[in-house]
Amino acid sequence: MKQRLNIGITCYPSLGGSGVVATELGKLLAELGHSVHFITHSMPFRLGGYHKNIYYHEVETTDYHAFKYPPYDLSLAAKMAQVAKMQNLDILHVHYAIPHAVCAYIAKGMVGGSLKVVTTLHGTDITILAQDESMSDLIRLGINNSDAVTAVSLDLIRETRERLNITRDIDLTYNFVDKRVYYPRDCSKYRCDFAPRGEKILMHVSNFRPVKRVGDVVDVFRRVNEKIPSRLVFIGEGPEMARTMTRVKEMGLSERVLFLGKQDEVAELLSVADIMLLPSEKESFGLVALEAMACGVPTIGSMTGGIPEVVTHGETGYLTEVGDTKAMADFALQLLGDNELYERMSKACIHRARNDFCNDLIMKQYEDIYFRVLNECKERVLSVE
Ligand code: GMT
């Protein structure tokens, strides 16, 4: 019988792909019988409610009068160490090098050698933070002192090596979707709301950061809508939201564009889309493209970062140069204008999501990594004896 582990998970608990992946991972590990302890500053948004084998430990900052800024990172490290001792953690799995891998390094120093740290890199820590010299030394410290490091795409592994001069092993563990949640749903109720005259539906889901190039989404939509009557549905919110709304208004498209804001459960909403748009400047993986794919929705986006590892150009969507909104619109028109092609691509999407990115497969990879680092430790003890 397989050993049941005590696993601590730290992630950014608010909206974002990394938080989603970490939370779903925790839920699935708990289903497999492991005890999972989330150590975060607030309840991960996809966790919701009680789950067997899942425990939540809130990190609280210390409001000591001498502190100009409450030292959240130290509070997190202290909480990690406390939970590790009290719950006898085998593994501390942290998502993002900064600050989580560094906090885990401190916690490990407080607890002793038996705690193993696994760090998963999701992208922006490497692609954005590592550009700052002072940060890159810190990121390197977190990465090099983890017992295992995983990254969500080959492109991210390459970039981590190049930008940070990292030579250690990094495991590739793609993001995943739970096939019991992400599948083509009956979405007729949404279709009537979003596209009452039977228009095509284009969708974009993001945190509206500049890296997502939301302006390109509007531009692609404008071009498509000129030829095929369509609607655009935005899910999420963030810094570029107001500018996007203004742009939509100026283009006279307000009637055809819907801003739904933050939505916790997107599986049902995704099924209503005909096309997902992901024209990002950079994307280490593009979880939303995978979630859409699992619902049978092809993505049209940019050929950048890890997106080509998720979306196969010509098979499960189309990819163009970053910013080439004309080419993206042309591909969308080709796809929306050809039912046979659309059906074929939609089926290929479901097949690929289920086969290459299914929860069972990726879960096994994470479990194998956990057992590997624990066994490496035992082997080292035996060889010293
Ligand atoms: O894309 C974001 O701005 C959010 C960020 C996050 O922290 O969740 O997403 C990153 O991690 C996701 C999960 O691994 C990936 O799917 C996203 O591609 C990645 N974002 C970027 O690389 C910009």
Its pTM stands at 0.94
Q: What is the pLDDT of residues 58-115, one digit of tens each?
A: 999 887 777 788 889 999 999 999 999 999 999 999 999 999 999 999 999 999 878 9
What is the token pair recorded at 291? 């979630």
Q: Is 44 close to ligand 1, i.e. is its CB under 6 Å away?
A: no
Domains and CATH numbers, the chain: 6-176+358-384 (3.40.50.2000), 188-356 (3.40.50.2000)
Q: Compute how many other C-beta atoms are within 10 angstroms of the C-beta atom of residue 182.
A: 26
Q: Is 278 close to ligand 1, i.e. is its CB under 6 Å away?
A: no
Consecutive 10-residue averages of pLDDT for the chain (385 residues): 90 88 96 97 86 95 79 95 97 95 96 91 80 86 96 96 94 96 90 94 96 98 98 97 97 97 89 97 97 98 98 98 98 98 98 96 97 81 53
352 alpha carbon – ligand 1 mean position (Å): 21
31 alpha carbon – ligand 1 mean position (Å): 25
200 alpha carbon – ligand 1 mean position (Å): 27
Q: Is 104 exposed, middle or buried (0-12, 13-18, 19+ CB in 10 A)?
A: buried
341 alpha carbon – ligand 1 mean position (Å): 30
Sequence-ordered alpha helix ranges (H) in the chain:
17-31, 72-87, 102-111, 124-127, 133-144, 154-164, 188-194, 214-227, 241-250, 267-270, 287-294, 307-310, 325-336, 339-356, 359-384
Q: Whose CA is nearest to atom 23 of ligand 1?
A: 283
Q: What is the pLDDT of residues 143-199, one digit of tens each?
A: 999 999 999 999 999 999 999 999 999 999 999 999 999 999 988 889 999 999 999
> Residue 286 belongs to what H/E stretch?
none
